[in-house]
Amino acid sequence: MARAQTLMETLTVHGFSPSGNCHKVRLLLEQLGRPYRWVETRSDIGATRTPEFLALNSNGRVPVLVREDGAVLTESNAMLCWLADGTPYLPADAWDRAQALRWMFFEQYSHEPYVAVARFICGWTPADSPRRAELPRLRERAHDALKVMERHLAEHAWFTGAHYGIADIALFAYTDVAGHGGVSLDAYPAINAWRARVRATPGFVALPDPDPEAAALIARSA
Amino acid sequence: MARAQTLMETLTVHGFSPSGNCHKVRLLLEQLGRPYRWVETRSDIGATRTPEFLALNSNGRVPVLVREDGAVLTESNAMLCWLADGTPYLPADAWDRAQALRWMFFEQYSHEPYVAVARFICGWTPADSPRRAELPRLRERAHDALKVMERHLAEHAWFTGAHYGIADIALFAYTDVAGHGGVSLDAYPAINAWRARVRATPGFVALPDPDPEAAALIARSA
């Protein structure tokens, strides 16, 4: 059902603060100056598998966005598209918008399943988790994705088109903390210059540092 | 750079015919009645890893869409968004469009990596491939995704909003042939009713049947 976007409505975001997918939404809301309420939802300890949560999102994942009338939207990148619609964070031209979406689908298919999952395993699973056996393959694929980004950034300043926008937000989220998963960014000068440009955008907010328990696990995973 | 869409231009699609991701684009082009040229690209035997192909898409994947002026778009779902822009296959309302995108991101993150990859391993890797060890886990996750779809279809006719559109095309592609990967659709009556509705849409074209070699491998994988 069509629902007009009311810029003054307070949106509710169910999210886990250390999650890059969740932070994407927070970053754009902050940069847009939109009012929102954050409901901390610890996906690392099963909070997305409760009956109450599954009623919101049967796919059992954060973030979930809820409007004042109760309408629900899932998938972080779909939220970015909706929030950015009609703003400078998403190009108005259809071809440019398709290119931004291209990078957002790349992020979810070729980047996040490696860069983000390596980070999750390093910081949010026990030191003896059998999942740690996946790390060499995940890191190799993570570098494949970073090389594609590096090649683009050698010739372009941004992923969203001529200006910073939601494809940059989507790709920045986990790229910036790839090191947590043992994926070094040292070999990617163009990515590092882009990271600095993203950090300098108005209203930028950083992902919170991992809590001490996660930080200790990350330090042991190097 | 902004480029207006010219409905009469002949688009070139580099694609592998048995690939659901590639077929998505063909299906929409057929339904829109748009002229296009198909360049068969056998990703199963390395045709996406040649220097010529990597110059088109450094991520080494099909499909790739090329315009008459040489401009390139990758990512099947980004192509669907661009081609459907301004047509009944994508809602004009921003919230409805975000819901369609939600299902397209779901497809690439929670569905395709299981449903499509199980099918690929069964039909397009040797009978003794070590990748066959991944099948039990892939099939389990495939059913997780199908359950989410079944729940939606119990209350809605389509994934794109009130009408058939690109989220349906994106999800139909691999769902319809899930059986090739040993993922039975028997337990999903709403999905099967939706498959029949999709097949009845004007201009529908089916994915080609697997060639005899793939069909024999699929038969051995049950």
A204 and A162 both lie in a single domain: yes
Half-sphere exposure of B58 (CA within 13 A, CB side): 11
Task: Give the distance from residue A95's alpha carbon to the nearest chain B alpha carbon, in angstroms.
Answer: 6
Q: CATH number of the domain that A74 lies in?
A: 3.40.30.10
Query: Which residues on neighbouring strands pair with residue A36, listed in sequence order?
Result: A11
Provide, as residue numbers in chain A, all residues whose Cβ is less than 8 Å from the Cβ of B64. Answer: none
Within-domain flag for B102: yes
Domain end, chosen from A61, A84, A107, is at: A84
Query: Which residues on neighbouring strands pair with residue A13, listed in sequence order?
Result: A38, A65
pLDDT of residue A7: 73
Tell me if B177 sits within 8 A of B119, measured CB to CB. Answer: yes
Task: Give the distance from residue A78's alpha carbon to the nearest chain B alpha carbon, in angstroms.
Answer: 5
- For residue B97, what is the nearest residue in chain A, using CA coordinates? A82
Within-domain flag for A71: yes
Nearest to residue A170, comparing CAs of A103, A217, A113, A110? A103
A97 touches chain B (CB under 8 A): yes
Provide, as residue numbers in chain B, all residues whose Cβ is less than 8 Å from the Cβ of A2. Answer: 91, 93, 95-96
Within-domain flag for B109: yes
The C-alpha atoms of residue B59 and residue B49 are separated, in whole angstroms, by 9
- How many structural domains comprise chain B? 2
Domain end, chosen from A58, A84, A110, is at: A84
pLDDT digits (tens, 9 = 90+) for B165-186: 999 999 999 999 999 999 999 9
B108 touches chain A (CB under 8 A): yes
Within-domain flag for B40: yes
B114 and B139 both lie in a single domain: yes
A151 and A68 both lie in a single domain: no
Task: Give the distance from residue A96's alpha carbon to the nearest chain B alpha carbon, in angstroms.
Answer: 6
Distances (CA, A) of B105 to A18, A75, A132, B160, B195: 21, 7, 27, 12, 20
B113 and B134 both lie in a single domain: yes
Q: Please give the average per-residue pLDDT across B16-45, as a whole number.
A: 96
A24 and A130 both lie in a single domain: no
Report strand pairing: B64-66 vs B36-40. Answer: unpaired
pLDDT of residue A44: 86
Within-domain flag for B89: no
What are the start-end ranges of the E strands in chain A?
A: 11-15, 36-40, 64-66, 72-74
Interface mutation vs chain B, best among A24, A65, A81, most B CBs within 10 Å: A81
B107 and B59 both lie in a single domain: no
Please indicate whether residue A45 or residue B117 has the higher confidence score (pLDDT). B117
- Please list, residue by residue across B22-46, b when 16 or more beta carbons sit within 10 angstroms of its beta carbon and e when fewer do: bbbbbbbbebbeeebebeebebeee
Task: Give the distance from residue A108's alpha carbon to the nearest chain B alpha carbon, in angstroms.
Answer: 6
- Given a cut of 50, whether residue A197 has pLDDT beyond it is yes
pLDDT digits (tens, 9 = 90+) for B82-134: 999 999 999 999 999 999 999 999 999 999 999 999 999 999 999 999 999 99
- Given a cut of 50, whether residue B1 has pLDDT beyond it is no
Helix pair B166-175, B135-153: axis angle to 10 deg: 140
Residue A102 has its nearest CB partner, among B75, B101, B110, at B75
Q: CATH number of the domain that A176 lies in?
A: 1.20.1050.10
Within-domain flag for A6: no
- Residue B74 and residue A102: Cβ atoms within 8 Å? yes
Model confidence band, residue A5 (pLDDT cutoffs 50, 70, 90): low
- Residue A73 and residue B112: Cβ atoms within 8 Å? no
- For residue B84, what is the nearest residue in chain A, using CA coordinates? A94
A71 touches chain B (CB under 8 A): yes
Give the count of Cβ contacts less than 8 A between chain A and B. 118
- Residue A102 and residue B78: Cβ atoms within 8 Å? yes
Q: Which domain holds residue B64?
A: 11-84
B105 and B202 both lie in a single domain: yes
pLDDT digits (tens, 9 = 90+) for B131-156: 999 999 999 999 999 999 999 999 99
User: Which residues, 6+ apart, have CB-to-CB distance to B18 below 8 Å?
Assistant: B44, B123, B124, B207, B208, B210, B211, B214
Within-domain flag for A157: yes
- For residue B60, what is the nearest residue in chain A, using CA coordinates? A148
Model confidence band, residue A4 (pLDDT cutoffs 50, 70, 90): low
A111 and A169 both lie in a single domain: yes
A34 and A131 both lie in a single domain: no
Helix (H), strand (E), coil (C) string for chain B: CCCCCCCCCCEEEEECCCCHHHHHHHHHHHHHCCCEEEEECCHHHCCCCCHHHHHHCCCCCCCEEECCCCCEEECHHHHHHHHHCCCCCCCCCHHHHHHHHHHHHHHHHHHHHHHHHHHHHHHHCCCCCHHHHHHHHHHHHHHHHHHHHHHHHCCCCCCCCCCCCHHHHHHHHHHCCHHHHCCCCCCCHHHHHHHHHHHCCCCCCCCCCCCHHHHHHHHHCC
Provide, as residue numbers in chain B, all residues whose Cβ is less than 8 Å from the Cβ of A166. Answer: none
- For residue B146, what is the nearest residue in chain A, using CA coordinates? A59
B85 touches chain A (CB under 8 A): yes
Nearest to residue B5, comparing CAs of B40, B27, B29? B29
The C-alpha atoms of residue A155 and residue B63 are separated, in whole angstroms, by 23
Task: Give the distance from residue A211's alpha carbon to the nearest chain B alpha carbon, in angstroms.
Answer: 27
Tell me if B175 sits within 8 A of B194, measured CB to CB. Answer: no
pLDDT digits (tens, 9 = 90+) for B193-218: 999 999 999 999 999 999 999 999 99
Interface mutation vs chain B, best among A62, A81, A105, A141, most B CBs within 10 Å: A105
B143 and B207 both lie in a single domain: yes
pLDDT digits (tens, 9 = 90+) for A49-72: 999 999 999 999 999 999 999 999
Q: Can you tell me whether residue A29 is helix, strand or coil?
A: helix
B70 and B37 both lie in a single domain: yes
Model confidence band, residue A173 (pLDDT cutoffs 50, 70, 90): very high
- Given a cut of 70, whether residue A14 has pLDDT beyond it is yes
Task: Report B:132-191 residues touching A (Cβ under 8 A).
Answer: 147-148, 151-152
Provide, as residue numbers in chain B, all residues whose Cβ is less than 8 Å from the Cβ of A77. Answer: 101, 105
Domain end, chosen from B34, B59, B84, is at: B84
Provide, as residue numbers in chain B, all residues whose Cβ is less than 8 Å from the Cβ of A112. Answer: 109
The C-alpha atoms of residue A56 and residue B169 are separated, in whole angstroms, by 25
Within-domain flag for B42: yes
- Given a cut of 80, whether residue A46 has pLDDT beyond it is yes
Please indicate whether residue B45 or residue B91 has the higher confidence score (pLDDT). B91
The C-alpha atoms of residue A144 and residue A142 are separated, in whole angstroms, by 5
pLDDT of residue B4: 62
Tokens representing A5? Answer: 């976007």
Q: Can you tell me whether residue A39 is helix, strand or coil?
A: strand
A119 and A155 both lie in a single domain: yes
